[in-house]
Amino acid sequence: MTISTNLQTVAQEIAATAQAAGRAPHAVQLLAVSKTFDADAVIEAADAGQSAFGENYVQEAIDKISEIRQQRPDLKLEWHFIGPLQSNKTRSVAENFDWVHAVDREKIAQRLSDQRPSTLPPLNICLQVNVSGEATKSGVTPAALPELARAVAAMPRLCLRGLM
């Protein structure tokens, strides 16, 4: 099966599920996790209509994003960083991604805000919350969430979009 065929199948499943839940199918966006796939596969998916891609290996993603931008500057893709983020990788993420899905510390958020180029729109942020309280899980505690949310919402180069 081709990437295009797979995307069509997933789109049909999303539409059916959305309708069954009383939601408009266009209100649901597919985030294709492209980690471990090469630039050519991402371009094939983009040519089939997919525009949002998730990555969680910073260097692999940066290389892939750069290659795609060189090969196909016409593609307007949305890049999501979906993994845990170390302090020493925030600049690369701030400069190359549109979304970060797992912010759980003010230090990481502040670095992303400080390092986001002013030529780009604010970086979309989702705060990761550890609702189970398990020590092996990442995320801010529910009790500490309001303080972190207020801090992130006040950062000029970030846009707080939700929780995960």
For the stretch 73-117, pLDDT in tens is 999 999 999 988 999 999 999 999 999 999 999 999 999 999 999
Average pLDDT over every residue of 19-45:
95
First to last CA, the chain: 32
Question: pLDDT > 70: what percent of the chain?
Answer: 100
- For the chain, what is the mean pLDDT? 96
What pLDDT sits at residue 95? 98
What pLDDT sits at residue 66? 97
Q: Which of 157, 136, 139, 156 is nearest to 148 (CA)?
A: 139
Residue 18 in contact with residue 25, Cβ under 8 Å? Answer: yes
Say if residue 18's pLDDT is above 80: yes
What pLDDT sits at residue 92? 97
40: left (phi over 0), alpha (psi -120 to 50) or beta: alpha
Whole-model pTM: value is 0.94
Say if residue 1's pLDDT is above 80: no
Average pLDDT over every residue of 147-160:
98
Q: Which of 104, 100, 86, 102 is nearest to 141 (CA)?
A: 104
Average pLDDT over every residue of 49-59:
96
Work out the angle between the directed axes of helices 39-47 and 3-20 (0-180°, nearest 10): 50
